Structures are given as C-alpha cells and as structure tokens.
C-alpha cells in the first residue's frame, strides 16, 4: 500500500500492512502497530459515506450487545473511502454459541416498530432502499425482490418464461407473508458462512454486516445457501428463540432472494440455483 496514503491514517507507529480477504466489495488490510492490530477496509474512488450503513450496523450491534468489530475511524484519503475497525484474531468455537448469538441479535427489535433502517444497504452493484415502513412485504418484496428482478432482466439473465415464474413465486410470497406475523428484528443482512468467525478465545462474532430491521427468517434463509452452519447452530437458535410454524417454507423465500442477488452480481453461474429456489417456492405454494 502507498506510504503517502498510509501516513494520512490516524494511526501511529505502523510496522506492517498485510492484505487480507475483504469479500467481493472491499480491499482489506491487517494493520500492525507497535501497540495494536487493526483492520482497514478501503473502497477506491468513493466518498467516506460509502461505509455509513456498515458503521451504523456495527454500532447497532454494539447497542444490542452483539460481539462484533467496533468502529475506530472513517474518512476519505486521496479519493478513497476507508473504514478502520478493531481486529479480531481468528480461532475455533462452538456452533451452539453462534446460534445463541444470532438468536440474541434477532430478539433486539426496532424501537419504532417499523421495518427498515436509517441508511440504505449500499453495494457496488445495487443499493437497497431501507426507508422505514410498516410492512415487511413492502420492504422485502417491493424494494428488494422486485429491484433484483428488474436488474436481472436488464442484464439479459432472465427471459420471459423466467419472469413469469418469478411473478408466480412473488404472488405466493405475498399471500404467505400476509398470513404471517413478521416482527422487525435486527438482522445481519448478509449472514453467509464467511460473515461470522470465532476469536482465538473461542468467542463467536458477526462481521461485515449489511444491517437493517426485518423478519428474522431472512437471515436464517441466507444461512442455508452456502453452508457453514451446522445442526447445532439451528438447534441452539430454535431453543433460544423458537421459530413460528411454517418457517421452513418461508425460509425458501430468502434463499431465493440471496441466489437472485448472486445471479445479478456474478452472472449465469447462479441461474440454476435461483430458478431452483423459485421453483421450490412455487411447488410449496401449490401443495
């Protein structure tokens, strides 16, 4: 990393800078000083407020008593946005403890009783509007699923027959959610297996949030897409915060969302997965 850039960070006595994995959005670095280890995220050619949603999410986690990195500083250097947070040393831990942590997250509900968040979910490919609303269907279906569908079509990844299947699944989702009492839980928003960790002391932590308040089944649906969550996780979660009847069928809605998101971002390699989830929603709705 450029020394002139590093010298403008509010960090003294840097001894080492090591590139590390930061997901598909950020450049990420482990910053070692004579006194501490920090985690740096950067986003080239972006304003500092690129990270405003992530910062707000991490601070909301802190209010809820959820173990996660803490925000140290945010700004812009030479045209690049950056976020400086605490560094957590990786280790191994218990899926049971992880299930308890996610249940604790979901028990924390919005103070205004509404769904959404104070800031949008900003990504390189798409930004989701999180303006507060009374209806979970409005936030999830109208603002997320429909936006994804429109973007997928614009990219030429779906044809007319695919859109018709989506519209049928959409009808089923709306009808099902109309008969389900959603409550606005604090969500991670991107809870795949790469966005949790265990510290070197075995403590579970949630990282890289895209937080907002929504139906807790959203997070659980995302956990089912790429693996990384074991039976002990789901057993502990359900013991701490039992799921409502019909949850397994509704969780498919959020698997469908996450696979559509990946189809939109990464292309046709996710076509069969997204259509498979849509077909599952339709099959469940036809029972």
24 pLDDT more than 70: no
Other CB atoms within a 10 A radius of the CB of residue 8 amount to 13
In this structure, the answer to whether residues 112 and 254 fall within a common structural domain is yes
CATH number of the CATH domain containing 243: 3.90.1200.10
**170-225: per-residue pLDDT in tens?**
999 999 999 999 999 999 999 999 999 999 999 999 999 999 999 999 999 999 99
| CA distance linking residue 40 with residue 27, whole number of Å | 8
Is residue 67 domain-shared with residue 103, that is, in the same domain? no
Q: Which of 20, 54, 86 delimits the end of a domain?
A: 86
Query: CA 25, CA 15: separation in Å to the nearest integer?
Result: 26
Does residue 3 surpass a pLDDT of 90?
no
In the chain, the percentage of residues whose pLDDT exceeds 90 is 91
Q: Let me know whether 99 and 79 are in one domain.
A: no
Are residue 172 and residue 275 in the same domain, yes or no? yes
Q: Do 257 and 188 have their domain in common?
A: yes
Residue 45 and residue 133 in one domain: no
Chosen domain end from 58, 86, 114: 86
Query: Which of 86, 116, 136 lies at the terminal end of a domain, its last residue?
Result: 86
> Model confidence over 108-121: pLDDT tens digits?
999 999 999 999 99
Q: Tell me how far CA of residue 91 lies from CA of 121, 199, 201, in angstroms.
A: 29, 5, 7
Do 199 and 109 have their domain in common?
A: yes
Q: State whether 32 and 142 are in the same domain.
A: no
**First vs last Cα of the chain: how many Å apart?**
57
The yes-or-no answer on residue 129 being catalytic is no
Residues 104 and 242 in one domain: yes
Closest CA to 46 of 122, 117, 130: 122
Domains in the chain: how many in total? 2
Q: What is the mean pLDDT of residues 20-41?
A: 85
- Domain of residue 267, residue span: 95-285
- Indicate if 140 and 76 belong to the same structural domain: no
- In this predicted model, what pLDDT tens digit does every residue of 110-159 receive, in sequence order? 999 999 999 999 887 899 999 999 999 999 999 999 999 999 999 999 99
Catalytic residue among 190, 208, 215, 219: 190
Question: Tell me, what's the pLDDT at 54?
Answer: 92
């Amino acid at each position: 990393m450029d020394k002139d850039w590093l010298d403008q960070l509010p960090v003294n006595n840097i001894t080492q800078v090591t590139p590390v994995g930061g997901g598909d959005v950020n450049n990420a670095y482990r910053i070692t000083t004579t006194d501490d280890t920090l985690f740096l995220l950067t986003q080239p050619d972006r304003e500092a407020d690129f990270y405003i949603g992530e910062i707000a999410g991490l601070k909301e986690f802190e209010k809820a008593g959820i173990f996660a990195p803490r925000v140290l500083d945010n700004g812009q250097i030479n045209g690049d946005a950056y976020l400086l947070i605490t560094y957590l040393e990786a280790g191994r831990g218990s899926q049971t403890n992880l299930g308890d942590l996610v249940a604790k997250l979901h028990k924390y509900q919005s103070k205004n009783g509404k769904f959404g968040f104070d800031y949008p979910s900003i990504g390189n490919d798409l930004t989701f509007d999180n303006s507060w609303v009374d209806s979970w269907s409005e936030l999830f279906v109208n603002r997320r699923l429909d936006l994804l569908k429109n973007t997928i079509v614009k990219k030429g990844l779906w044809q007319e027959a695919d859109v018709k299947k989506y519209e049928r699944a959409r009808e089923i989702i709306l009808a099902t959610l109309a008969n389900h009492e959603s409550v606005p839980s604090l969500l991670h928003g991107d809870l795949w297996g790469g966005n949790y960790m265990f510290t070197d002391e075995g403590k579970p932590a949630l990282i890289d949030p895209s937080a907002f308040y929504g139906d807790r089944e959203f997070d659980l649906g995302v956990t089912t897409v790429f693996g990384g969550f074991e039976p002990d996780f789901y057993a502990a979660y359900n013991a701490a915060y039992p799921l409502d009847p019909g949850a397994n069928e509704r969780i498919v809605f959020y698997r469908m969302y996450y696979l559509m998101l990946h189809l939109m971002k990464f292309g046709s390699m996710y076509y069969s997965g997204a259509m498979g989830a849509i077909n599952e929603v339709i099959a469940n709705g036809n029972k």
